[in-house]
Amino acid sequence: MPSTTYGGATDLHWQGWSRTTNDQGRIRNVITVDFLVIGAGIAGASVASELIRHGSVLLLEAEDHPGYHTTGRSASMFLEFHSDATLRALVRHSRPFFDSPPQGFAAQPILGNRGVLFIARSDQLNSLARIIDKNYEDPARVLRGDHRLAVSKHPALRPESVAACLWDPDAMDIDVHALLHGFLRAFHQSGGQLQTGERVTALRRDDSCWKARTDKADYRASVIINAAGAWADEVGRMAGAQKIGLVPKRRSACIIPADTINVAKWPMVGDVDEEFYFKPDAGNLLLSPAEETPMQPCDVYADELEIARAVACLEAATNIRVTRKIGRQWAGLRSFVEDKMPVVGYDAKADGFFWLAGQGGDGIQTSPALARLAAALVMDEPVPDDLASDGVTREVLSPKRLTNLKNS
């Protein structure tokens, strides 16, 4: 696999480089940086763009291009909707960045209007009441109604299949490609370097310095930032770090061709118990069975049975009939620890090893706030004021909360 740099320039602020020999006696360059970030998904790209203000940063990505795994496979939604107040705060405090990113960050707006309609059958009315109470900071912001509200917001819904619904007008589409490449561009313009096609295969700490090995080179860094997504526990194991008990969970999606129907302005529709959801995607419909199937970290594929189940749900809830071949199908791994909160902070066992993992289904929409928080904690600074004043603490996200796990 080719190893590429972002944008091709090499205006770096490396601490330096030297040469060593590997086990076969071949000479290998050793590059030394302040911060080595493992994984160029949204987590690694966003934190690298923050850390570059504090020193030299190298971002290493195993695949040929950034965002290849979960980041490139999401439903791209911004939704201030979560049962946990800290996660809601992280979403809320990401919004100003999305609305007004730094100059030159992206050629187009990061967010686009969408809206989401949560629908409930008559046997799901309790679930609807529960999510209004638990998942919204300000329930007055959303509208509750019956099938008439549902059909007024979404012309394809069948009135007889919707007993009640919830309309959240503030849900937005996120342009994930523009966001990821905005972070990478900012990182690169400040002297950061992205190396793709380089998988970290070994980590060792000597003399207060980390040594990382890939099949191409050796690196030395004062701090390792583990932003390896579904592989974060594997990377932690290489470093002799604590186990955080990360469980990657598959979620499939597919494209339903819209033929001649103009779906562009339709809102997202989600079943209130997360049995399926669908939303417009580049003139067609993105449909997901919203499953959460535990998997080993891998290049995951869509599950055809789950896709078939989602199609059945779509046909039951709407007038849409899937008569043509389903388009592209894919799946991504949403990774969770036991309490389903992100893991952000220094490891309990391995000095200078920092976790930025476990973002589950919220890693895109929380990335600006999480990256600022992570960079502050890497530098041993306090939680940024705006997050602290909204109840975000280092303890609630610290990996140290997970130290009681077996084999930690």
Ligand X SMILES: Cc1cc2nc3c(=O)[nH]c(=O)nc-3n(C[C@H](O)[C@H](O)[C@H](O)COP(=O)(O)OP(=O)(O)OC[C@H]3O[C@@H](n4cnc5c(N)ncnc54)[C@H](O)[C@@H]3O)c2cc1C
- Positions in 185-224 near ligand X (CB under 6 A): 199-200
**Minimum CB distance to ligand X smaller for 164 or for 314:** 314
Site string for ligand X, 278-317 (x = CB under 6 A): ----------x-----------------------------
Q: Is 364 in the site for ligand X (CB under 6 A)?
A: yes
**33 and 21 in contact (C-beta within 8 Å)?**
no
Compare residues 40 and 369 and give the one whose CB is closer to ligand X: 40
Strand blocks (E) in 227-349: 247-256, 268-271, 277-281, 284-288, 293-294, 329-336, 343-346
Question: 144 or 237: whose CB is closer to ligand X?
Answer: 237
Count of residues engaged in binding ligand X, rule: CB under 6 A: 40
- Which of residues 1 and 125 has its CB atom nearest to ligand X in the complex? 1
Shortest Cβ distance from residue 220 to ligand X (Å)? 16
Does residue 175 contact residue 19 with C-beta atoms inside 8 Å?
no
Q: Is 334 in the site for ligand X (CB under 6 A)?
A: yes
- Cβ 253 vs Cβ 286: under 8 Å: yes
- 352 sits near ligand X (criterion: CB under 6 A): no
235 binds ligand X (CB under 6 A): yes
Rg from Cα positions in the chain: 22
Q: Which stretch binds ligand X (CB under 6 A): 7-15, 185-193, 360-368, 371-379?
A: 360-368
Q: Which is nearer to ligand X, 164 or 355 (CB)?
A: 355
Q: Select from 32, 49, 56, 76 the one that contacts ligand X (CB under 6 A).
A: 76
HEC profile of 170-200: CCEEECHHHHHHHHHHHHHHCCCEEECCCCC
C-beta closer to ligand X: residue 137 or 151: 137
Minimum CB–partner distance for residue 320 and ligand X (Å):
20
Question: Does 71 participate in binding ligand X (rule CB under 6 A)?
Answer: yes
49, 44, 39, 35: which is closest to 209 by C-alpha? 35
Residue 164 or 212 with smaller CB distance to ligand X = 212
Q: Decide whether 70 or 318 has the Cβ nearer to ligand X.
A: 70
Count the neighbouring beta carbons within 10 Å of the beta carbon of residue 284.
18
Q: Smallest Cα–Cα separation from 47: which of 210, 186, 172?
A: 186
Q: Is the dihedral of CA 298, 301, 307, 309 positive or negative?
A: negative
Instruction: State both tokens at 147.
Output: 């099938």
Residue 74 is a binding residue for ligand X (CB under 6 A): yes
Amino acid identity of residue 377, one-letter, is: L
332 contributes a contact to ligand X by CB under 6 A: yes
Contact 119, 272 (CB under 8 A): yes
From CA 74, how far away is CA 329, in angstroms rounded? 12
What's the closest the beta carbon of residue 126 comes to ligand X, in angstroms?
Answer: 25
Token representation of residue 112: 């686009």
Stretch that binds ligand X, among 28-36, 55-63, 99-107, 390-398 (CB under 6 A): 55-63
Stretch that binds ligand X, among 48-56, 72-80, 102-110, 398-406 (CB under 6 A): 72-80
For residue 1, what are the CA distances in angstroms to 61, 266, 317?
12, 41, 45
Q: Any contact of residue 50 with ligand X (CB under 6 A)? A: no
User: Is 62 a residue that touches ligand X (CB under 6 A)?
Assistant: yes
Q: Report how far apart, in Å, the C-alpha atoms of 379 and of each of 53, 55, 133, 375, 376 are.
A: 11, 10, 37, 6, 5
Residues that bind ligand X (CB under 6 A): 38-44, 60-63, 68-71, 73-77, 199-200, 227-231, 235, 251, 253, 288, 332, 334, 359-365
